[in-house]
Structure 1
C-alpha cells in the first residue's frame, strides 16, 4: 500500500509504533526522539476536530 501523488508513488519508511510495538510503514522518514504510531494507535492520539474555534463552526453569511 502506498500513497500516490502527481510525482508517482510515495516512498514509505518502516517504523515501530511507539504504543503497541507493531511494525508499520509511514510516508515520512521517522525522526529520532519523536514517536511514530501505527494507523490504529494514531487514531487514539489525534486531537478531536473542533467546530472552528470561538465562532462555533462554519456559518454562512447571507
Structure 2
C-alpha cells in the first residue's frame, strides 16, 4: 500500500498503487461519493 492524501477532502489514505502525481487520488469515501454522483 502507498500512503497519499485525498485530493478532495485532504484526509491521509493508502492506495494499492503508486500515485503518479498527474491525476487526483481519492480516499474510499470520496471515491464512492464521486462514483455514485457520476451518471453514465
TM range (shorter): 0.7 to 0.9
The TM-score with structure 2 as length reference comes to: 0.81
Q: CA RMSD in A?
A: 1.4
Which residue pairs with 2:31 in the alignment?
42
Distance 1:29 1:20 in 2: 19
Distance 1:25 1:17 in 2: 9
The TM-score with structure 1 as length reference comes to: 0.55
Alignment size in residue pairs: 38
Greater C-alpha radius of gyration:
1
Gaps of 5+ in 1: 1-11, 51-62
Name the structure, 1 or 2, with higher relative contact order (CA <8 Å, separation 6+).
Answer: 2
Distance 1:45 1:33 in 2: 18
Q: Which has the higher helix share?
A: 2
Moved over 2 A (4+): none
